Amino acid sequence: MTAPLLDVRDLCVSYGRAQVVHNVSIAVNTGALVTVIGSNGAGKTTLLNAIMGLLKAKGRIGFHDAEMSSVSLENRVQAGLSLVPERRELFADMPVEDNLLLGGFRRSRAERKQTLSEIYTRLPRLQERRQQLAGTLSGGERQMLAMGRALMARPVLLMLDEPSLGLAPRIVRDVFHILTDLRKTGVSILLVEQNARAALEVADYAYVMELGAITTQGPPAEIARDPRLVESYLGLG
């Protein structure tokens, strides 16, 4: 068996004396789309930020057979980790294209140009709006721009923090369709979501996070049948 691409073991994260992530172990295989679902405040954002290197953590973060836990944020990006943050964090008064180019600032000019044209092919809406200020985009377009910007770094593992947040169901479907499309091109994906139903539809493997710990894991179809989880996360529909 080959080792997982991302192999997080016993990760613990605290804010001051308050520990909010407790011994979390998760893995993402190369080419897989893995989701972590859980309600508000479960610690999902904290987990992603710790993997990315935005927060200090105890435990192991194996990526490509290297240990990342003491590696800087910049070097984690170089190694192929990229995060689409929950608040999307775009530069509202800059055009779409400039926001995208910032995502690839570590790359050579030629590489950036090439990646930009690939992203425009994949996300034609961004090309149509390339000169529009990011702050004037719709919610769905903003999410696409945040994803496009993360892709400019040519990630091996793309991590997304609640990409469905604030979007209408139809737009959520579009965004998740882009994720499954991306996966087909070989990008591995770690998707953190409160919208469990949508996430379980696209994922290959799922973890449930509650009160800072992973309480259940398995194939999405199994999780979707678990009566307790259905009641807590999936509603009655």
Interacting span for ligand ATP (CB under 6 A) from 37-45, 93-101, 146-154, 228-236:
37-45
Residue 151's nearest CA partner among 183, 196, 198 is 183
Binding residues for ligand ATP, how many (CB under 6 A)? 13
The correct pick among 1, 2, 17, 40 for binding ligand ATP (CB under 6 A) is 40
Radius of gyration of the chain (CA): 17
Euclidean distance between CA atoms 226 and 230, whole angstroms: 6
**Going residue by residue from 175 to 214, which x/- string records binding to ligand ATP, judged by CB under 6 A?**
-------------------x--------------------
- The per-residue b/e assignment along 41-73, b for 16 or more CB within 10 angstroms, e otherwise, is ebbbbbbbbbbbbebebebebbbbeeebbebee
17 binds ligand ATP (CB under 6 A): no
Please, what is the minimum distance in Å from the beta carbon of residue 194 to ligand ATP?
5
Interacting span for ligand ATP (CB under 6 A) from 38-46, 127-135, 178-186, 215-223:
38-46
The correct pick among 8, 11, 20, 83 for binding ligand ATP (CB under 6 A) is 20
44 binds ligand ATP (CB under 6 A): yes
43 binds ligand ATP (CB under 6 A): yes
15 binds ligand ATP (CB under 6 A): yes
The correct pick among 3, 41, 66, 128 for binding ligand ATP (CB under 6 A) is 41
Residue number with CB closer to ligand ATP (46 or 69): 46
Q: Are 192 and 36 in contact (CB under 8 A)?
A: yes
The correct pick among 7, 26, 37, 38 for binding ligand ATP (CB under 6 A) is 38
Interacting span for ligand ATP (CB under 6 A) from 14-22, 199-207, 217-225, 227-235:
14-22
Q: Are 22 and 66 in contact (CB under 8 A)?
A: no
